[in-house]
Structure 1
């Protein structure tokens, strides 16, 4: 497949790549896998054939997900979104705003499946994900839980590359 990455098409190429990532998450498979038969080696082509019949999706997902009925409903929605994002023609693909609108209600349903003994960084397991994120951001920099310095980690990666912007907004990515 040839993609012209001119300015007008680039966002649609990004949406396609996002759809591929969603497929990888759902199936636990790589985008290209030469260790499987040809008809299954190209994830997008294979998964789009799976999507023709909704009843095929449970057999195609990563079995380690072991979803309950409610989670399976979310997987159907994400699978459908992945199919739209990887439409053959760029003009048939949604923009990322649509993808976000599909995913946000699913994210808001998220709850951890187990109650670890850790403190959870001040996050109540009954919070929605957006609430938990807000709490975490409010506590960021005030917690003493990560008191380890970069030099102790033997890392050659700087904490922040020089010249790296302090903050980004969605306009930076367009």
Structure 2
């Protein structure tokens, strides 16, 4: 992903995209749905508006999700995280290490309490294996995210210019 202003790849753009994915999971809606009204076509804009209004926010949650007071706390945590990730200004978005820490705490909270003899469930998940403890610093994501994506092949320089694509 790259920013339109600089044309450079940034981790903050990826954080924004991840925030939209969280919104999709919570609402059961598409990120862009042209079948909806003008106010609801862009999920991120609609979601932020719904999130601000605490009375209408529960109506934004996918109706297939059964929630009570306890699960609503977790839903609110994920919604707050999605809202932070999709902040308009990139410098206001959290680092991915913060996102992981928030989500790990929820995984640990919702880990099944009982296992029926076998530590793996029908999906092959071993709940006794601890989550990996990543050091989410520059060694994990790379000190310079721009170098993690190969540069444009020189053969394309003479065949296509970015302005020609529009």
- TM-score, normalised via structure 1 length: 0.65
Retained in 1: the 8 A contact 2:111–2:127? no
The equivalent residue for 1:72 is 72
Retained in 2: the 8 A contact 1:15–1:95? yes
Which aligned pairs between 1:43-62 and structure 2 lie closer than 5 A? 43-62=43-62
Q: Render the CA deviation track for 1:109-140: whole Å, top value 9, x for unaligned.
A: 1145998xxx89x3267xxx8x71617x9xxx
Q: Distance in 1 between matches of 2:77 and 2:84?
A: 11
Higher relative helix content: 1
The CA deviation at 1:64 is: 0.3
Q: Distance in 1 between matches of 2:36 and 2:141?
A: 41
The equivalent residue for 1:6 is 8
The CA deviation at 1:68 is: 2.0
1:86 aligns with 2:86: yes
Could you tell me which runs of 5 or more consecutive residues in structure 1 were left unpaired when the two chains were aligned. Answer: 138-168
The equivalent residue for 2:29 is 29
Structure 1: 4+ residue segments shifted above 6 A: none
The CA deviation at 1:83 is: 0.5
RMSD: 3.2
The CA deviation at 1:55 is: 2.5
Q: Distance in 1 between matches of 2:21 and 2:45?
A: 14
Aligned residues: 133
What SS does structure 2 have at the residue aligned with 1:32?
Answer: coil
Between 1 and 2, higher relative CO (CA 8 Å, sep ≥ 6) is seen in 2
The CA deviation at 1:43 is: 0.1
Retained in 2: the 8 A contact 1:30–1:43? yes
The equivalent residue for 1:151 is none
The CA deviation at 1:51 is: 1.4
Q: Distance in 1 between matches of 2:36 and 2:21?
A: 19
What SS does structure 2 have at the residue aligned with 1:64?
Answer: coil
The CA deviation at 1:23 is: 0.1
